[in-house]
Amino acid sequence: MRLIRYKHTFFVLFCFLVFVVMVAIYKFYHHDSVLWSFWSPKVTKDNLTHILEDAKVPQYYPKEIDIFLNGKLETTYVEYTLDVELQEFMENLFSSYQPDYAAFVALDPKTGKILSLISYAKIHSKLNENLALKASYPAASIFKIVTASAAIGEKNFTANTIIPFNGANHTLYRSNILQSKFTRFTRYMSLKDAFAKSVNTVFGKIGAFSLGSDGLREYADRFGFNRKITGDLPVGESKAIIPNDAWGLAESASGFTQHNTMSPLQGALMVSAIVNQGVMMEPYLVQLLSLKSGKSLYTALPHELGQTLDQKTALEMRELMRETIRIGTSRRSFRGFSRGRFTGVDIGGKTGSLSGKNPKGKYDWFIGYAEKNNHPLALSVLTIHEKYWKVKSSYLGRRAIERYFLDKN
């Protein structure tokens, strides 16, 4: 009898412990007030970076943090910069279309304030890192922004500069780069049209014979490649490997390489620099930390990362990006956008696509901007498709722009 009683007691205790563990797991992964603690007399961006890094993905960013101040544990409330309506709208959009993997970043180009940050995986268990901050994705034709900016800024190209070339739009062959024979099949295209249609040979020739390795490398660095992007988020460091030989330069300049990689956040920053008269702002997600009493412990202030482009080059780049929407690779996704309620919204973008291995699949980029009445938005969309293509990133970009400017018309 006593043995039965002990077994019963042990069973009840075991069930209680299982219940406690399950509640703890639920609160850690689903509750929005997970507590984090660290010893610090002053809250810094480095503190915030460590906290947000531990949270792994945006869904788990804490709304409360425990901080020891003057030997006392204080609960601190976190206010983020996110546009809640845009964030929820895009989360629902990804859930609706269900790409295998996706990331989305939107920010205010004037301040660097992050308005939306999404990391998505169709199979949730595969989402063990923040895809929006990861920098292992091939930049693909997004790198043409670097090449075009360098050509305009350093070699006096304009949107209307004509470049002769041989070959199709989306191929890249050594013979068309390394040989300069003009025949009756030679084509002539303006820089803005080549950018809009993402013509690899044109950008390969610009990189190999107009810019050289030093010129291309300098502008890659300006746009955030090969260096740490500071702020309160743990952003992966992108890389741009710029060879010295003509063929290697052509591959890099056109984006026809696996070696140049970037993060979705960096994509949004690249556009923001163009929209913000050439100035890149430091990105930030935490706006305010405050105590229950209302006392502020940390307030974010806009901070410049540097002058990426001069104003003239930035204006020319906007013209190139407009052409992508008007006649280029995004024209179908944005068809009819400028009619009706979004008349007067200035939009531009750049697409890119390439197969990648981490994770494996077809990578589809769209980075772009929209502005009306001096109210700009910069955004970056990446979708990764393992077998079946679910949705175009440029279409998701359009939907984001429409939602953001819906209440601003």
Q: Domain limits of the chain?
A: 2-79, 84-285+302-405
What would the mean pLDDT of 191-217 be, rounded to a whole number? 98
Q: Read off the pLDDT of residues 316-329 as tens digits, 9 standing for 90 and up.
A: 999 999 999 999 99
Q: Indicate the range of 51-60, 136-145, 274-283, 339-348 predicted with least confidence.
A: 51-60
In this model, does residue 7 exceed pLDDT 90? no
The predicted structure's pLDDT at residue 56: 65
Average of per-residue pLDDT values in the chain: 89
Q: Apex CA 239: angle with CA 230 and CA 302, to 5°?
A: 20
pLDDT number for residue 2: 46
Q: For the domain covering 84-285+302-405, report its CATH number.
A: 3.40.710.10
Q: How does residue 9 score in pLDDT terms, banded at 50, 70 and 90?
A: low
The whole-number average pLDDT for the span 330-356 is 94
Q: So what's the pLDDT on residue 41?
A: 54
Mean pLDDT across 26-45: 50
Cα angle 122, 127, 132; round to 5 = 95
* Least confident residue range of 56-60, 302-306, 392-396: 56-60
Higher model confidence: residue 67 or residue 199?
A: 199
In this prediction, residue 71 carries a pLDDT of: 79
Contact between 65 and 76 (Cβ < 8 Å): yes
Say which residue, 162 or 53, is predicted with more confidence.
162
For residue 174, is pLDDT > 60?
Answer: yes
Tokens representing 43? 């809250």
Is the confidence at residue 293, as pLDDT, over 90?
A: no
- Per-residue pLDDT, 407: 80
Q: Confidence band (pLDDT; 50, 70, 90) for 347?
A: very high
Cα separations (Å) of 376 from 14, 401, 405?
57, 10, 10
Mean pLDDT, rounded, for 4-26: 47
- Between 47 and 404, the more confident residue is 404
Tokens of 320: 């190139």
Q: Higher model confidence: residue 126 or residue 317?
A: 317
Higher pLDDT, 97 or 49: 97
pLDDT of residue 70: 77
d(CA 276, CA 315): 10
- Please report the pLDDT score of residue 17 as a whole number: 55
